[in-house]
Amino acid sequence: MQYLPMITRLLLGVYFLVFGLNGFLHFLPQPPMPEEAGKAIGAIFTPSYQISLVKAIETICGFTLLTNRFAAEGILSA
């Protein structure tokens, strides 16, 4: 039971880091979306700076959780 917070922190850090970097590097394949869903997602993420900012914050939070430096701030800002 004493290792549960550490395991949770590491898994959350890996999740944030991998999917945050995927926003910039596109290394995970994305299946094709139906046409209507593609239009809706395209309308939401049209301003490209917003998704870049979200992915940058996600990557930084994942890095802070993995290194255990400023981990509390990384969790709060995610």
Indicate the domain borders of the chain: 4-77
Number of Cβ atoms within 10 Å of the Cβ of 66:
17
Q: What is the mean pLDDT of the chain?
A: 87
**What integer pLDDT is reported at residue 78 of this predicted model?**
65
Which tens digit of pLDDT belongs to each residue from 18-43?
A: 999 998 999 999 888 888 888 887 77
**What integer pLDDT is reported at residue 7 of this predicted model?**
93
Res. 75: pLDDT tops 80: no
The model's pTM is 0.78
CA–CA separation, 57 and 21 (whole Å): 10
Residue with the bigger pLDDT between 21 and 52: it is 21
